[in-house]
Structure 1
Amino acid sequence: MMNKCFFFLISFLLFCFSISTSKAQTANFMVKAGIGWATILNSPQSDENGFKPESRLAAHLGVGIRKSYTDKIGVQGELLFLQQGANLAKDDSLTLNFNSAGLSALVFYKIVPALELEIGVQPTYTFSLKNNYDKDLSNVWTNWRFDGALLLGMRYLITDSFAIAPRIRYGVRPIKTNFFYTTDGVSYITVENRYNHFNAGISFEYIFGN
Protein backbone atom coordinates (compact mmCIF):
# COMPACT_ATOMS: atom_id res chain seq x y z
CA MET A 1 0.00 0.00 0.00
CA MET A 2 2.82 2.40 0.85
CA ASN A 3 4.53 1.71 -2.48
CA LYS A 4 1.33 2.56 -4.36
CA CYS A 5 0.86 5.79 -2.42
CA PHE A 6 4.48 6.79 -2.93
CA PHE A 7 4.44 6.38 -6.70
CA PHE A 8 1.10 8.13 -7.12
CA LEU A 9 2.11 10.99 -4.82
CA ILE A 10 5.44 11.68 -6.51
CA SER A 11 3.94 11.51 -10.00
CA PHE A 12 0.96 13.67 -9.10
CA LEU A 13 3.12 16.35 -7.46
CA LEU A 14 5.55 16.53 -10.38
CA PHE A 15 2.70 16.60 -12.89
CA CYS A 16 0.89 19.39 -11.04
CA PHE A 17 4.12 21.32 -10.47
CA SER A 18 4.86 21.42 -14.18
CA ILE A 19 1.37 22.76 -14.89
CA SER A 20 1.26 25.27 -12.03
CA THR A 21 4.49 26.97 -13.11
CA SER A 22 3.53 27.24 -16.77
CA LYS A 23 3.00 31.01 -16.47
CA ALA A 24 6.60 31.56 -15.46
CA GLN A 25 8.09 29.12 -17.98
CA THR A 26 7.09 28.05 -21.45
CA ALA A 27 5.13 24.80 -21.32
CA ASN A 28 4.64 22.59 -24.36
CA PHE A 29 1.71 20.24 -24.70
CA MET A 30 2.08 17.03 -26.66
CA VAL A 31 0.19 14.04 -27.98
CA LYS A 32 1.87 10.66 -28.31
CA ALA A 33 1.16 7.15 -29.50
CA GLY A 34 3.32 4.11 -29.93
CA ILE A 35 3.82 0.38 -30.11
CA GLY A 36 6.25 -2.09 -28.63
CA TRP A 37 6.64 -5.43 -26.91
CA ALA A 38 5.35 -6.40 -23.48
CA THR A 39 5.78 -9.43 -21.27
CA ILE A 40 5.63 -10.52 -17.66
CA LEU A 41 8.93 -11.42 -16.00
CA ASN A 42 8.88 -14.47 -13.76
CA SER A 43 11.47 -14.79 -11.00
CA PRO A 44 12.45 -17.51 -10.39
CA GLN A 45 11.25 -19.23 -13.55
CA SER A 46 9.75 -22.67 -13.05
CA ASP A 47 8.35 -25.10 -15.58
CA GLU A 48 6.54 -27.16 -12.98
CA ASN A 49 5.06 -24.60 -10.61
CA GLY A 50 5.06 -21.39 -12.62
CA PHE A 51 4.62 -20.35 -16.23
CA LYS A 52 7.10 -18.76 -18.61
CA PRO A 53 5.38 -15.84 -20.34
CA GLU A 54 6.52 -14.65 -23.75
CA SER A 55 6.34 -11.21 -25.31
CA ARG A 56 3.35 -9.83 -27.16
CA LEU A 57 2.48 -6.65 -29.03
CA ALA A 58 1.76 -3.64 -26.81
CA ALA A 59 0.41 -0.16 -27.50
CA HIS A 60 -0.06 3.18 -25.77
CA LEU A 61 -1.81 6.48 -26.44
CA GLY A 62 -1.96 9.69 -24.46
CA VAL A 63 -1.13 13.33 -23.83
CA GLY A 64 1.59 15.14 -21.95
CA ILE A 65 3.10 18.44 -20.91
CA ARG A 66 6.81 19.28 -20.81
CA LYS A 67 8.78 22.23 -19.57
CA SER A 68 12.45 23.20 -19.74
CA TYR A 69 13.90 24.93 -16.68
CA THR A 70 17.42 25.34 -18.04
CA ASP A 71 19.02 24.82 -21.43
CA LYS A 72 19.67 21.21 -20.44
CA ILE A 73 17.09 20.06 -17.87
CA GLY A 74 13.31 19.89 -17.78
CA VAL A 75 10.34 17.88 -16.53
CA GLN A 76 7.55 16.05 -18.31
CA GLY A 77 4.19 14.67 -17.20
CA GLU A 78 2.04 12.22 -19.16
CA LEU A 79 -1.38 10.65 -18.95
CA LEU A 80 -1.38 7.43 -20.96
CA PHE A 81 -3.65 4.55 -21.86
CA LEU A 82 -1.59 1.34 -21.90
CA GLN A 83 -2.37 -2.02 -23.43
CA GLN A 84 0.11 -4.62 -22.22
CA GLY A 85 0.32 -8.24 -21.11
CA ALA A 86 1.99 -11.47 -22.25
CA ASN A 87 1.56 -14.61 -24.30
CA LEU A 88 1.33 -17.75 -22.17
CA ALA A 89 1.60 -20.21 -25.06
CA LYS A 90 4.10 -20.34 -27.92
CA ASP A 91 1.34 -20.49 -30.53
CA ASP A 92 -0.35 -17.36 -29.05
CA SER A 93 -3.38 -19.49 -28.14
CA LEU A 94 -3.54 -17.89 -24.68
CA THR A 95 -2.85 -14.20 -24.15
CA LEU A 96 -3.18 -11.94 -21.13
CA ASN A 97 -4.53 -8.44 -21.83
CA PHE A 98 -3.97 -5.70 -19.26
CA ASN A 99 -5.74 -2.41 -20.07
CA SER A 100 -4.35 0.33 -17.83
CA ALA A 101 -4.17 4.07 -17.27
CA GLY A 102 -0.79 5.48 -16.24
CA LEU A 103 0.45 8.81 -14.92
CA SER A 104 4.11 9.40 -15.81
CA ALA A 105 6.50 11.88 -14.22
CA LEU A 106 9.91 12.26 -15.84
CA VAL A 107 13.02 14.41 -15.78
CA PHE A 108 14.80 14.88 -19.11
CA TYR A 109 18.34 15.97 -19.89
CA LYS A 110 19.39 17.36 -23.28
CA ILE A 111 22.56 15.60 -24.36
CA VAL A 112 22.64 17.63 -27.57
CA PRO A 113 19.90 19.96 -28.88
CA ALA A 114 18.06 17.17 -30.73
CA LEU A 115 18.68 14.29 -28.31
CA GLU A 116 17.37 13.87 -24.75
CA LEU A 117 17.76 11.29 -22.00
CA GLU A 118 14.71 10.76 -19.75
CA ILE A 119 14.13 8.92 -16.49
CA GLY A 120 11.02 8.74 -14.33
CA VAL A 121 8.27 6.78 -12.61
CA GLN A 122 4.83 5.66 -13.75
CA PRO A 123 2.12 4.37 -11.43
CA THR A 124 -0.71 2.64 -13.27
CA TYR A 125 -4.20 1.46 -12.51
CA THR A 126 -5.42 -1.57 -14.46
CA PHE A 127 -9.16 -1.47 -15.07
CA SER A 128 -9.42 -4.64 -17.16
CA LEU A 129 -7.65 -8.01 -17.08
CA LYS A 130 -8.86 -10.56 -19.62
CA ASN A 131 -7.53 -13.29 -21.85
CA ASN A 132 -7.91 -13.47 -25.62
CA TYR A 133 -11.20 -15.37 -25.18
CA ASP A 134 -12.59 -12.28 -23.41
CA LYS A 135 -12.73 -14.11 -20.09
CA ASP A 136 -12.45 -11.89 -17.03
CA LEU A 137 -9.49 -13.02 -14.89
CA SER A 138 -9.97 -10.57 -12.02
CA ASN A 139 -11.01 -13.36 -9.66
CA VAL A 140 -8.11 -15.60 -10.66
CA TRP A 141 -5.25 -13.14 -10.30
CA THR A 142 -4.46 -11.00 -7.26
CA ASN A 143 -2.54 -7.72 -6.74
CA TRP A 144 -2.90 -6.80 -10.41
CA ARG A 145 -4.86 -3.54 -10.10
CA PHE A 146 -1.97 -1.25 -9.16
CA ASP A 147 1.55 -1.21 -10.56
CA GLY A 148 4.48 1.14 -10.10
CA ALA A 149 7.14 1.25 -12.81
CA LEU A 150 10.52 2.80 -13.50
CA LEU A 151 10.99 4.46 -16.89
CA LEU A 152 14.17 4.95 -18.91
CA GLY A 153 14.25 6.31 -22.43
CA MET A 154 15.50 8.76 -25.01
CA ARG A 155 13.91 11.29 -27.33
CA TYR A 156 15.14 12.33 -30.76
CA LEU A 157 13.67 15.51 -32.22
CA ILE A 158 13.29 15.02 -35.95
CA THR A 159 11.86 18.54 -36.23
CA ASP A 160 10.95 21.13 -33.60
CA SER A 161 7.50 19.55 -33.30
CA PHE A 162 7.93 15.88 -34.19
CA ALA A 163 9.93 13.36 -32.15
CA ILE A 164 10.48 9.65 -31.70
CA ALA A 165 11.06 8.30 -28.21
CA PRO A 166 12.19 4.74 -27.43
CA ARG A 167 11.56 3.74 -23.81
CA ILE A 168 11.69 0.74 -21.49
CA ARG A 169 9.34 0.25 -18.55
CA TYR A 170 9.92 -2.11 -15.64
CA GLY A 171 7.20 -2.75 -13.09
CA VAL A 172 8.76 -2.85 -9.63
CA ARG A 173 5.61 -4.06 -7.90
CA PRO A 174 4.72 -7.74 -8.45
CA ILE A 175 1.33 -8.08 -10.12
CA LYS A 176 1.07 -11.73 -9.08
CA THR A 177 2.85 -13.87 -6.49
CA ASN A 178 2.74 -17.65 -6.23
CA PHE A 179 4.13 -19.73 -3.37
CA PHE A 180 4.86 -23.43 -3.58
CA TYR A 181 6.98 -26.05 -1.84
CA THR A 182 9.73 -28.34 -3.04
CA THR A 183 11.09 -31.32 -1.15
CA ASP A 184 14.68 -32.34 -0.55
CA GLY A 185 14.58 -35.49 1.50
CA VAL A 186 12.43 -34.54 4.47
CA SER A 187 12.94 -30.78 4.25
CA TYR A 188 10.55 -28.35 2.62
CA ILE A 189 11.74 -25.27 0.77
CA THR A 190 9.43 -22.36 0.09
CA VAL A 191 9.85 -20.93 -3.41
CA GLU A 192 8.22 -17.73 -4.55
CA ASN A 193 7.26 -16.85 -8.11
CA ARG A 194 6.95 -13.09 -8.69
CA TYR A 195 5.48 -11.74 -11.91
CA ASN A 196 6.36 -8.18 -12.97
CA HIS A 197 5.45 -6.15 -16.06
CA PHE A 198 8.17 -5.31 -18.59
CA ASN A 199 7.69 -3.20 -21.72
CA ALA A 200 9.96 -1.91 -24.47
CA GLY A 201 8.63 0.30 -27.23
CA ILE A 202 8.78 3.49 -29.21
CA SER A 203 6.53 6.56 -29.21
CA PHE A 204 5.76 9.01 -31.96
CA GLU A 205 5.18 12.46 -30.47
CA TYR A 206 3.84 15.75 -31.73
CA ILE A 207 4.82 18.71 -29.55
CA PHE A 208 2.74 21.90 -29.74
CA GLY A 209 4.30 25.33 -29.43
CA ASN A 210 7.93 24.51 -30.16
Structure 2
Amino acid sequence: MKKLLASLAIVLSVVSFANAQKIAFKGGFTYSDAIMSPEPVDIIDGKAGFHAGIVLQDLMLSDKIGIQPELIYSQQGFKIGSVGSIGMHYLSLPILLKFPVTEELSLLAGPQVSYLTNTKIGIGNGFFSVNYNGLFKDIDLGLAGGLEYKVSDKVALGGRYVLGLTNVNKDFQIDNNNNLSDYLSIKNTSAQVYVSFSFGKN
Protein backbone atom coordinates (compact mmCIF):
# COMPACT_ATOMS: atom_id res chain seq x y z
CA MET A 1 0.00 0.00 0.00
CA LYS A 2 2.91 2.35 0.69
CA LYS A 3 4.12 1.78 -2.88
CA LEU A 4 0.61 2.47 -4.22
CA LEU A 5 0.32 5.77 -2.36
CA ALA A 6 3.80 6.80 -3.45
CA SER A 7 3.02 5.93 -7.07
CA LEU A 8 -0.23 7.89 -6.98
CA ALA A 9 1.55 10.88 -5.48
CA ILE A 10 4.17 10.80 -8.25
CA VAL A 11 1.52 10.53 -10.98
CA LEU A 12 -0.46 13.42 -9.53
CA SER A 13 2.69 15.54 -9.29
CA VAL A 14 3.56 14.84 -12.91
CA VAL A 15 0.04 15.75 -14.01
CA SER A 16 0.24 18.96 -12.02
CA PHE A 17 3.58 20.03 -13.44
CA ALA A 18 2.50 19.07 -16.96
CA ASN A 19 -0.44 21.43 -16.63
CA ALA A 20 1.73 24.17 -15.05
CA GLN A 21 -0.55 24.49 -12.03
CA LYS A 22 0.09 25.46 -8.42
CA ILE A 23 1.42 23.26 -5.67
CA ALA A 24 0.74 24.24 -2.06
CA PHE A 25 2.06 23.23 1.33
CA LYS A 26 -0.60 22.97 4.02
CA GLY A 27 -0.56 22.37 7.74
CA GLY A 28 -2.80 22.78 10.74
CA PHE A 29 -4.68 21.43 13.73
CA THR A 30 -6.54 18.11 13.87
CA TYR A 31 -9.12 17.07 16.44
CA SER A 32 -9.79 13.36 16.05
CA ASP A 33 -12.20 10.97 17.69
CA ALA A 34 -13.66 7.51 17.21
CA ILE A 35 -17.19 6.29 16.62
CA MET A 36 -17.56 3.00 18.47
CA SER A 37 -20.42 0.54 18.32
CA PRO A 38 -21.48 -0.55 20.88
CA GLU A 39 -20.43 2.72 22.51
CA PRO A 40 -18.44 2.43 25.77
CA VAL A 41 -19.93 4.38 28.69
CA ASP A 42 -18.37 7.86 28.67
CA ILE A 43 -14.74 6.77 28.42
CA ILE A 44 -13.83 7.75 24.84
CA ASP A 45 -12.72 11.33 24.22
CA GLY A 46 -11.23 13.22 21.31
CA LYS A 47 -7.53 13.84 20.85
CA ALA A 48 -5.62 16.86 19.50
CA GLY A 49 -2.92 16.53 16.85
CA PHE A 50 -1.68 18.09 13.65
CA HIS A 51 -1.53 17.41 9.93
CA ALA A 52 0.71 18.58 7.09
CA GLY A 53 1.27 17.82 3.44
CA ILE A 54 1.11 18.94 -0.17
CA VAL A 55 -1.81 20.01 -2.34
CA LEU A 56 -2.14 20.11 -6.12
CA GLN A 57 -4.25 23.16 -6.90
CA ASP A 58 -6.22 24.61 -9.82
CA LEU A 59 -6.74 21.38 -11.76
CA MET A 60 -10.00 22.63 -13.25
CA LEU A 61 -12.27 20.24 -15.13
CA SER A 62 -14.54 23.14 -16.16
CA ASP A 63 -15.38 26.67 -15.06
CA LYS A 64 -17.59 25.27 -12.28
CA ILE A 65 -15.69 22.24 -10.99
CA GLY A 66 -12.12 21.21 -10.34
CA ILE A 67 -10.21 18.38 -8.71
CA GLN A 68 -7.80 18.77 -5.79
CA PRO A 69 -5.57 15.81 -4.89
CA GLU A 70 -3.55 15.97 -1.67
CA LEU A 71 -0.98 13.86 0.15
CA ILE A 72 -1.25 14.43 3.92
CA TYR A 73 0.42 13.14 7.07
CA SER A 74 -2.12 13.21 9.90
CA GLN A 75 -2.05 12.45 13.62
CA GLN A 76 -5.29 10.85 14.79
CA GLY A 77 -6.60 8.68 17.59
CA PHE A 78 -8.61 9.01 20.80
CA LYS A 79 -8.31 9.11 24.58
CA ILE A 80 -9.54 6.37 26.88
CA GLY A 81 -10.69 8.24 29.99
CA SER A 82 -7.82 8.92 32.36
CA VAL A 83 -6.24 5.56 31.57
CA GLY A 84 -4.40 6.48 28.40
CA SER A 85 -4.70 7.18 24.70
CA ILE A 86 -4.38 5.66 21.24
CA GLY A 87 -2.29 7.59 18.72
CA MET A 88 -2.73 6.65 15.05
CA HIS A 89 -0.41 8.09 12.41
CA TYR A 90 -1.80 8.10 8.87
CA LEU A 91 -0.59 8.94 5.38
CA SER A 92 -3.77 10.09 3.62
CA LEU A 93 -4.63 10.66 -0.03
CA PRO A 94 -7.81 12.75 -0.45
CA ILE A 95 -9.09 13.18 -4.02
CA LEU A 96 -11.51 16.09 -3.67
CA LEU A 97 -13.88 17.76 -6.07
CA LYS A 98 -13.68 21.54 -5.81
CA PHE A 99 -16.77 23.68 -6.35
CA PRO A 100 -16.09 27.46 -6.44
CA VAL A 101 -18.89 29.32 -4.63
CA THR A 102 -17.34 32.75 -5.11
CA GLU A 103 -13.97 33.87 -6.43
CA GLU A 104 -12.50 33.38 -2.95
CA LEU A 105 -14.66 30.64 -1.38
CA SER A 106 -14.79 26.99 -2.49
CA LEU A 107 -16.54 23.84 -1.34
CA LEU A 108 -14.43 20.65 -1.29
CA ALA A 109 -15.74 17.09 -1.04
CA GLY A 110 -14.64 13.62 -2.00
CA PRO A 111 -13.15 10.26 -0.98
CA GLN A 112 -10.01 9.71 1.05
CA VAL A 113 -7.85 6.62 1.46
CA SER A 114 -5.44 6.45 4.40
CA TYR A 115 -2.57 4.12 5.28
CA LEU A 116 -1.73 3.53 8.94
CA THR A 117 2.02 4.04 9.35
CA ASN A 118 2.29 3.70 13.12
CA THR A 119 0.24 3.24 16.30
CA LYS A 120 1.22 4.43 19.77
CA ILE A 121 -0.41 3.38 23.03
CA GLY A 122 -0.11 6.09 25.69
CA ILE A 123 -0.36 5.41 29.40
CA GLY A 124 -1.82 8.06 31.69
CA ASN A 125 -1.46 11.67 30.54
CA GLY A 126 1.29 10.95 28.05
CA PHE A 127 3.65 9.83 30.80
CA PHE A 128 4.66 6.73 28.85
CA SER A 129 3.95 5.43 25.34
CA VAL A 130 4.90 2.39 23.28
CA ASN A 131 4.64 1.53 19.60
CA TYR A 132 2.18 -1.23 18.80
CA ASN A 133 1.13 -1.81 15.20
CA GLY A 134 -1.13 -4.83 15.56
CA LEU A 135 -4.31 -3.19 16.85
CA PHE A 136 -5.85 -1.67 13.72
CA LYS A 137 -6.27 -2.34 10.03
CA ASP A 138 -3.75 -0.71 7.70
CA ILE A 139 -6.29 0.84 5.32
CA ASP A 140 -9.01 3.31 6.23
CA LEU A 141 -11.46 4.59 3.60
CA GLY A 142 -13.40 7.76 4.30
CA LEU A 143 -15.24 10.79 3.02
CA ALA A 144 -13.95 14.35 3.42
CA GLY A 145 -15.75 17.66 3.04
CA GLY A 146 -15.19 21.29 3.93
CA LEU A 147 -14.66 24.89 2.91
CA GLU A 148 -11.59 26.79 1.77
CA TYR A 149 -11.20 30.57 1.61
CA LYS A 150 -8.54 32.17 -0.57
CA VAL A 151 -6.98 35.06 1.37
CA SER A 152 -4.63 35.93 -1.50
CA ASP A 153 -3.12 34.28 -4.57
CA LYS A 154 -0.67 32.46 -2.29
CA VAL A 155 -2.52 31.91 1.00
CA ALA A 156 -5.74 30.04 1.83
CA LEU A 157 -7.53 29.08 5.04
CA GLY A 158 -9.72 26.01 5.35
CA GLY A 159 -11.75 23.71 7.53
CA ARG A 160 -12.65 20.08 6.90
CA TYR A 161 -14.42 17.09 8.43
CA VAL A 162 -13.39 13.52 7.64
CA LEU A 163 -15.68 10.57 8.36
CA GLY A 164 -14.15 7.10 8.32
CA LEU A 165 -16.19 4.39 6.61
CA THR A 166 -13.98 1.44 7.58
CA ASN A 167 -14.21 -0.54 10.79
CA VAL A 168 -10.51 -0.28 11.59
CA ASN A 169 -10.73 -2.74 14.49
CA LYS A 170 -8.39 -5.62 13.68
CA ASP A 171 -9.86 -9.07 13.09
CA PHE A 172 -8.55 -10.77 16.22
CA GLN A 173 -10.02 -14.26 16.47
CA ILE A 174 -11.73 -14.84 19.81
CA ASP A 175 -13.16 -18.29 19.11
CA ASN A 176 -13.47 -20.71 16.21
CA ASN A 177 -16.17 -18.72 14.41
CA ASN A 178 -15.96 -15.11 15.54
CA ASN A 179 -13.57 -12.16 15.43
CA LEU A 180 -13.37 -9.18 17.75
CA SER A 181 -14.43 -6.88 14.91
CA ASP A 182 -17.76 -8.77 14.76
CA TYR A 183 -18.59 -7.32 18.19
CA LEU A 184 -16.82 -3.95 18.27
CA SER A 185 -16.76 -1.42 15.43
CA ILE A 186 -14.28 1.49 15.51
CA LYS A 187 -14.45 4.23 12.88
CA ASN A 188 -12.22 7.29 12.73
CA THR A 189 -13.48 10.85 12.58
CA SER A 190 -11.54 14.09 12.49
CA ALA A 191 -12.03 17.83 12.15
CA GLN A 192 -9.22 19.90 10.64
CA VAL A 193 -8.40 23.58 10.32
CA TYR A 194 -5.42 24.62 8.23
CA VAL A 195 -3.52 27.25 6.32
CA SER A 196 -1.96 26.60 2.92
CA PHE A 197 0.82 28.43 1.07
CA SER A 198 1.00 27.97 -2.68
CA PHE A 199 3.74 28.49 -5.22
CA GLY A 200 3.87 28.10 -8.98
CA LYS A 201 1.94 29.72 -11.79
CA ASN A 202 -0.44 32.53 -10.76
Q: 1:164 to 1:42 in 2, by over 3 A?
A: same
Q: What SS does the corresponding residue of 1:174 show, helix, strand or coil?
A: coil
- With structure 1 as the length reference, what TM-score do the two structures score? 0.77
Q: Which moved more, 1:69-78 or 1:145-154?
A: 69-78
Kept after mapping to 2: 8 A contact 1:29/1:208:
yes
Structure 2 counterpart of 1:117, from 101, 107, 130: 107
**1:203 corresponds to 2:194:** yes
Q: CA deviation at 1:137?
A: 2.9
Q: What SS does the corresponding residue of 1:134 show, helix, strand or coil?
A: strand
Q: Spell out the pairing of 1:46-57 with structure 2 (5 A cutoff).
A: 46-47=40-41, 52-57=43-48
Q: CA deviation at 1:36?
A: 2.4
Q: What SS does the corresponding residue of 2:62 show, helix, strand or coil?
A: coil
**1:171 corresponds to 2:172:** no
User: 2:192 & 2:136 partners in 1: Cα distance?
Assistant: 26
Q: CA deviation at 1:177?
A: 6.2
Corresponding position of 1:34 = 28
**Which one-letter code corresponds to 1:163 in the other structure?**
A
Q: Which runs of 5+ in 2 are unaligned?
A: 123-127, 173-181
Identity of aligned residues (%): 22
Alignment deviations for residues 91-121 of structure 1 (CA, whole Å, 9 cap, x no partner): 4x41111111111211101011000001112
Q: CA deviation at 1:206?
A: 0.7
Kept after mapping to 1: 8 A contact 2:16/2:56:
no
User: 1:138 & 1:21 partners in 2: Cα distance?
Assistant: 34
Corresponding position of 2:139 = 146
Kept after mapping to 2: 8 A contact 1:177/1:195:
no
**1:134 corresponds to 2:129:** yes
Kept after mapping to 1: 8 A contact 2:30/2:76:
no
Corresponding position of 1:188 = none
Q: 1:19 to 1:116 in 2, by over 3 A?
A: farther
- Would you say how many aligned residue pairs link Structure 1 and Structure 2? 183
- With structure 2 as the length reference, what TM-score do the two structures score? 0.80
Corresponding position of 2:64 = 72
Kept after mapping to 1: 8 A contact 2:16/2:22:
no
Kept after mapping to 1: 8 A contact 2:94/2:113:
yes
Q: What SS does the corresponding residue of 1:64 show, helix, strand or coil?
A: strand
Runs of 4+ deviating beyond 3 Å: 15-19
CA RMSD of aligned residues (A): 2.6
Kept after mapping to 1: 8 A contact 2:38/2:185:
yes
Larger Rg: 1
